[in-house]
Amino acid sequence: MSFANRQILLAARPVGMIKPTDFRSVETPVPVPGDGQYLVRNIYLSLDPTIRGWMNEEDTYLPAIKIGEVMRGAGIGVVEQSSNPAYNVGDLVFGLIGWQDYFLGGGNDAMPMMVLPPGIPLTAALSIYGVTGMTAYFGLLDLGQPKAGETVVVSGAAGAVGSITGQIAKLKGCRAIGLAGTDAKCRWVTEDLGFDACINYKTEDMARRLKETCPKGIDVYFDNVGGEILDIVLTQINLRARIVLCGAISMYNATEFPPGPKHYVNLIGKRARMEGFIITDYLPRFAEAMGELGPWVAQGKLKYAIDQVDGLENAPTAINRLFTGANTGKLIVKISDEPA
Ligand SMILES: NC(=O)c1ccc[n+]([C@@H]2O[C@H](COP(=O)([O-])OP(=O)(O)OC[C@H]3O[C@@H](n4cnc5c(N)ncnc54)[C@H](OP(=O)(O)O)[C@@H]3O)[C@@H](O)[C@H]2O)c1
């Protein structure tokens, strides 16, 4: 066991892409839990596009991270010491562990740690059974309301959320068309995950290829990227289409926001709906999603991929994999070993 707690702090607010100089590393003593507190050894850190928004000056759905504060991040760890009856030594927990080796819980935690049920692989708890899987499930089914036979288009299709969304669309009897940034990602999405088609938005003529792959038009668009791609999709939506605004990663590093989608006007003629959501609103319904996702995974009908980088010290560079498109599936950082 280490006697130092490595912590990565926010040193500067990024302008454009995140740079190593936006962070500062420090070592502090491993905290000792006081009355009502517990100490978590962090194992896996989840790297999510939303972190980029938390690094800006303005608050989002959570307060902005302050300069000099430990970087906020969700993840999984194991309770190593506890003076809190709700957490036992050996419990595996999920929550906002931060970019550090150890998390001290039981003070004024923004969000209480969730004790994981036994028997779930930890990487699955961070992906398919975590925020990622829940986002795909409720975003698609609650907001997208796909019906069998309809056409669902998913951007960021080889990413954590997108790769699961398209598979759920297929399981619900829809046609699933992915949009991704490399031919290799497109092959994975169609050949391994079973999407009906995938368009490389960087090299192909998107408007023409959408017409070819969605000959009956688009009923549901699950948008992870926003920007130009959203605008093109809006030209091909069907009557009463549902546009699910999950994310807009193409804009997260923008220093100036691009003009809004020109073709939003099609929402009027098509009586279509465009709606955003934040997955934490669905926390009380996570068990419902588990009831359907669990059996699909167990039966081999739903796959998930993990993109793992080793070492907390690599988190500041690894996060840019999300913005360069280097990741396939859920991006995580391994901080320490899982308990034997
Ligand atoms: N609403 C919610 O509650 C909620 C919850 C979780 C996630 N999200 C959102 O869901 C989206 C996906 O998140 P994730 O965790 O699954 O990340 P991810 O898709 O695994 O990773 C991001 C991917 O986005 C693509 N990308 C990056 N820059 C792009 C650009 N300029 N234009 C088009 N594509 C670009 C890259 O793939 P390519 O190689 O294909 O470009 C990259 O691999 C994000 O927008 C995130 O903010 C929302």
- Annotate 227-286 with DSSP letters as a single string: HHHHHHHHTTEEEEEEEEE---GGGTT-SSPPPPPGGGGHHHHTT-EEEE--GGGGGGGH
| Cβ atoms of 297 and 128 closer than 8 Å | yes
Q: What is the pLDDT of residues 169-217, one digit of tens each?
A: 999 999 999 999 999 999 999 999 999 999 999 999 999 999 999 999 9
Ligand 1 pocket, Cβ-based, cut-off 6 angstroms: 48-50, 131-132, 135, 156, 158-162, 180-182, 185, 224-225, 246-250, 277-279, 322-323, 325, 327, 331
SS3 140: helix
- Closest ligand 1 atom, CA of 247? 45
Torsion from C-alpha of 123, 127, 129, 134, nearest 10 degrees:
170
Residue carrying the six token digits 């300069």 = 67
Taking only Cα atoms into account, the Rg of the chain, rounded to an integer number of angstroms, comes to: 20
Q: pLDDT-derived band of residue 111, with 50, 70 and 90 as boundaries?
A: confident
Closest by CA to 193, choosing from 158, 219, 147, is 158
Atom of ligand 1 nearest to the CA of 50: 47
Nearest alpha carbon, ligand 1 atom 37: 325
Give the atom of ligand 1 at the shortest distance from the alpha carbon of 331: 20
**Helix crossing, 286-298 with 131-138: angle to 10°?**
100
Q: Which residue, by CA, sits nearest to atom 8 of ligand 1? A: 247
Between 259 and 212, name the one with better pLDDT: 212
CA of 281 to the centre of ligand 1 (A): 20
Q: What is the pLDDT of residue 107?
A: 66
Tens digit of each residue's pLDDT (9 = 90 or more) over 284-325 = 999 999 999 999 999 999 999 999 999 999 999 999 999 999
Taking only the tens place, the pLDDT of each residue in 114-140 is 999 888 999 999 999 999 999 999 999
Mean residue pLDDT across the chain: 96
Would you state the pLDDT for residue 127? 97
Mutate-to-test residue for ligand 1 from 245, 322, 333, highest number of ligand atoms within 8 A of CB: 322
Comparing CA positions, the residue from 210, 178, 205, 204 lying closest to residue 191 is 178
Q: What does the alpha-carbon distance between residue 314 and residue 295 come to, in Å, rounded to a whole number?
A: 35
Take atom 41 of ligand 1 and give the residue whose Cα is closest: 181
Residue in 126, 161, 282, 319 to alter for ligand 1 test, most ligand atoms within 8 A of Cβ:
161
The residue whose CA is least distant from atom 31 of ligand 1 is 250
Crossing angle of helices 160-171 and 131-138, in 10° steps, is 40
Compute how many other C-beta atoms are within 10 angstroms of the C-beta atom of residue 172: 18
DSSP of 23-41, one letter per residue?
EEEEEEEPP---TT-EEEE
Task: Find the 253 Cα to ligand 1 centroid distance in Å.
Answer: 12
Å from CA of 284 to ligand 1 middle? 24
For residue 322, the CA-to-ligand 1 centroid distance in Å is 7
Ligand 1 centroid to Cα of residue 271, in Å, is 27
Q: In this structure, what token pair is assigned to residue 220?
A: 């549901």
Angle between helix 227-234 and helix 206-213 axes, rounded to 10 deg: 50
Q: What is the pLDDT of residue 112?
A: 84
CA of 19 from ligand 1 middle (Å) equals 19
Rounded distance from Cα 182 to ligand 1 centre (Å): 14
Whether residue 1 has pLDDT greater than 50: no
Q: Which pLDDT score, from 0 to 100, does residue 2 have?
A: 53
Q: What does DSSP say about strands 92-95 and 114-115: parallel, antiparallel, or unpaired?
A: antiparallel
CA-proximal residue: ligand 1, atom 22 (nearest): 322
